[in-house]
Amino acid sequence: MPKIFSNLNLNGPTPPRVQPVLGEWGPQHVPTTKQKRRMRIWVGLALLGAMIAIFLLGWYVYYVMTGNIGFGLGDNEQFLYGSSTLTRAG
């Protein structure tokens, strides 16, 4: 199974004097790998939510200022509308 996340080993090449205190089942007062993975996912979702909120705020300001929905929707004139009213000079 391919690894999605990097190696989350807290100790790495650090000297023993700076490594966390080990309890009976592992480091004490240190987040587990599962908690860190979960937090990475939550941070990604929070970032996505913040970007969507900023986009929607910008769209709302644009809509209030112009009265146009944007993206070419809700326009009174379409791109080819003006060309169909042209007449030929005879």
pLDDT in tens, 36-89: 999 999 999 999 999 999 999 999 999 899 888 887 666 655 555 555 555 555
Residue 26 maps to a domain: no
Mean pLDDT comparison of 18-22, 23-27, 56-60, 65-69, highest-scoring range: 56-60
Which pLDDT band, with edges at 50, 70 and 90, does 29 fall under? confident
DSSP type of residue 21? P
Residue 55 maps to a domain: yes
Q: Which of 60, 10, 59 is nearest to 35 (CA)?
A: 10
Mean pLDDT calculated for residue range 19-23: 78
Residue 44 maps to a domain: yes
Count of structural domains within the chain:
1
> Given this model, what pLDDT does residue 41 score?
96
Residue 56 maps to a domain: yes
Lowest mean pLDDT: which of 1-5, 13-17, 35-39, 60-64? 1-5
Alpha helix stretches (DSSP H) within 1-90: 33-66
Residue 24 maps to a domain: no
Cα dist from 39 to 34, 43, 44, 46, 85, whole Å: 9, 6, 9, 10, 60
Higher pLDDT, 20 or 90: 20
Name the 3-class secondary structure at 33.
helix
| Residues 6 or more apart whose Cβ sits within 8 Å of residue 62 | 68, 70
**Residue range of the domain that includes 64:** 33-85
